[in-house]
């Protein structure tokens, strides 16, 4: 079986990862690109509209743009296709008078079913709480992971795993900022899934490293880590490919409602597999060497 020098390629892949993280951090700055927060986090109005026949989204958007709404440009509303001739229109709007104007326009200019319009108002206070709880859940997951892996393995293993997870999440957020993909509650769930997926691959490799450190006592830490990654490679690739296939199908056919969720999972599968081999392991190796070489790794 061919043995790949994963750890030896760190000098190639680490600068690439650092560059991607820097780019992601820059585009996350609100003045540059920033994240496009959905109505779940910003507050506003969501309209669910049932049409009697297919309606062009561009025509709806153009009609919304003609409604005066102060500083809000209703032409930039998010319009998503749902089942049949249903469309979900979301906008950062909390003025009831303007909302009434939107309903009147839709009923007047488009073939809307009788009583086919429903609306839902999400207050900004509730939205702020949702945003805080969403990001707190990710932070809490990272802390819990750090504590658990430190207990099951050692602190150096935990730090390597958490850095790999942060690497994956930051790059995923950068992609969302670049392409202005909406962040909503489903997306937060996808980011938590990224955390779990990335951690799963890393833990499998770490467990093999720990076993091989006991079995391969004549080998250096460098050789043991490379051996462990190679031994886990087929399992890692098989898991990634079988996960990637349904996620890419969900991304293509899942529609606009699930687009952000499936995109986050796609990024998580690819970047998570990469980071488990090229981010977590080099951190473990560097820490082990600094702590006293092979003896400290046992």
Do 113 and 140 share a domain, yes or no? no
Q: Name the residue among 276, 99, 263 with its Cα closest to residue 180.
A: 263
SS3 sequence of the chain? CCCCCCHHHHHHHHHHHHHHHHHHHHHCCCCCCCCEECHHHHCEEEEEEEECCCCCHHHHHHHHHCCCCCCCCHHHCEEEECCCCEEEEEECCCCHHHHHHHHHHHHHHCCEEEEEEEEEEECHHHHHHHHHHHHHHHHHHHHHHHHHHHHHCCHHHHHHHHHHHHHHHHHHHHHHHHCCCEECHHHHHHHHHHHHHHHHHHHHHHHHHHHHHHHCCCCCHHHHHHHHHHHHHHHHHHHHHHHHHHHHHHHHHCCHHHHHHHHHHHHHHHHHHHHHHHCHHHHHHHHHHHHCCHHHHC
* Per-residue confidence (pLDDT) for residue 80, from 0 to 100: 80
70, 87, 122: which is the final residue of a domain?
Answer: 122
pLDDT in tens, 50-80: 999 988 888 898 898 888 877 777 887 778 8
Instruction: State the CATH number of the domain containing residue 86.
Output: 3.30.70.3400
pLDDT band (50, 70, 90) for residue 125: low
Instruction: State the CATH number of the domain containing residue 153.
Output: 1.20.1640.10
Domain hosting 171: range is: 7-36+127-297
Burial class (CB in 10 A: 0-12, 13-18, 19+), 7: buried
pLDDT in tens, 245-260: 999 998 988 776 678 8
Question: Is residue 103 a contact partner of residue 117, using CB atoms and an 8 Å limit?
Answer: yes
| 75-84, 153-162, 269-278: least confident range | 75-84
60 assigned to some structural domain: yes
Do 223 and 148 share a domain, yes or no? yes
pLDDT in tens, 182-219: 887 788 888 888 888 888 889 999 999 999 988 988 88
100, 122, 144: which is the final residue of a domain?
Answer: 122
The Cα–Cα gap between 110 and 126 comes to 32
Do 115 and 131 share a domain, yes or no? no
Do 72 and 145 share a domain, yes or no? no
- Percent of the chain past pLDDT 70, that is, above it, reads 92
96, 122, 148: which is the final residue of a domain?
Answer: 122
pLDDT band (50, 70, 90) for residue 1: low
* Average pLDDT for 82-110: 84
pLDDT band (50, 70, 90) for residue 172: very high
* Per-residue confidence (pLDDT) for residue 281, from 0 to 100: 93
Do 264 and 204 share a domain, yes or no? yes
- Percent of the chain past pLDDT 90, that is, above it, reads 35
């Amino acid at each position: 079986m061919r043995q790949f020098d994963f750890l030896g390629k760190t000098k190639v892949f680490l600068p690439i990862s650092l560059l991607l993280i820097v780019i992601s951090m820059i585009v996350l700055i609100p003045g540059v690109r920033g994240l496009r927060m959905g109505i779940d986090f910003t507050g506003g109005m969501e309209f669910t509209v049932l049409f009697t026949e297919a309606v062009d989204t561009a025509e709806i958007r153009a009609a919304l743009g003609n409604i005066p709404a102060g500083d809000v440009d209703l032409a930039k509303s998010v319009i998503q296709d749902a089942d049949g001739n249903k469309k979900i229109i979301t906008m950062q709007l909390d003025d009831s008078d303007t909302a009434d104007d939107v309903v009147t326009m839709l009923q007047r200019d488009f073939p809307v079913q009788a009583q086919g319009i429903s609306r839902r108002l999400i207050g900004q206070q509730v939205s702020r709480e949702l945003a805080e709880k969403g990001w707190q859940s990710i932070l809490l997951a990272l802390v819990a992971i750090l504590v658990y892996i430190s207990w099951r393995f050692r602190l150096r293993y935990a730090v390597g795993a958490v850095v790999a997870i942060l690497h994956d999440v930051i790059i995923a957020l950068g992609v969302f900022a670049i392409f202005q993909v909406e962040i909503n509650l489903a997306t937060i769930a996808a980011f938590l899934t990224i955390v779990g997926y990335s951690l799963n691959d890393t833990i499998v490799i770490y467990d093999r490293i720990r076993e091989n450190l006991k079995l391969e006592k004549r080998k250096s830490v460098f050789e043991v880590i490379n051996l462990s990654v190679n031994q886990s490679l087929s399992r890692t690739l098989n898991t990634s490919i079988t996960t990637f296939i349904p996620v890419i199908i969900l991304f293509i056919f899942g529609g606009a409602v699930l687009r952000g969720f499936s995109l986050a999972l796609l990024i998580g599968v690819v970047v998570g597999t990469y980071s488990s081999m090229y981010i977590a392991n080099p951190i473990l190796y560097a820490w082990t060497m600094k702590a006293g070489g092979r003896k400290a790794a046992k």
